Amino acid sequence: EGVLTQSPGTLSLSPGERATLSCRASQSVSTYLAWYQQKPGQPPRLLIYGASSRATGIPDRFSGSGSGTDFTLTISRLEPEDFAVYYCQQYGSEFGPGTRVDVK
Amino acid sequence: EVQLVESGGGLVQPGGSLRLSCAASGFNFSTYWMAWVRQAPGKGLEWVAKIHLDGSDKYYADSVKGRFTISRDNAKNSLNLQMDNLRAEDTAVYYCARDHPSGWSLGCWGQGTLVTVSS
Q: Provide DSSP, A6-57.
A: EE-SEEEE-TTS-EEEEEEESS--TT-EEEEEE-TTS--EEEEETTTEEPTT
- Residues B69-87: pLDDT tens digits? 999 999 999 999 999 999 9
What gap in Å lies between CA A29 and CA B14, rounded to an integer? 37
Find the CB nearest A97 among B44, B47, B99.
Answer: B44
Looking at chain A, which residue has its C-alpha nearest residue B36? Answer: A93
What gap in Å lies between CA B36 and CA B56, rounded to an integer? 16
- Residues B32-57: pLDDT tens digits? 999 999 999 999 999 999 999 999 99
Residue B104: list chain A partners with CB under 8 A: 32, 34, 49-50, 91-92
Those residues with Cβ within 8 angstroms of residue B97's Cβ, 6 or more apart along the chain or in another chain: B4, B34, B35, B36, B37, B106, B108, B109, B110
**Contact: A44, B59; criterion CB under 8 Å:** no
Residue B53: list chain A partners with CB under 8 A: none
Rounded alpha-carbon distances, angstroms, from residue A54 to A35, A63, B3: 9, 7, 21
pLDDT band at A2 (very low <50, low <70, confident <90, very high): confident
Residue A93: list chain B partners with CB under 8 A: 47, 50, 59, 61
In this complex, is the C-beta atom of B12 within 8 Å of any C-beta atom belonging to chain A? Answer: no
Residue A1 has pLDDT above 70, yes or no: no
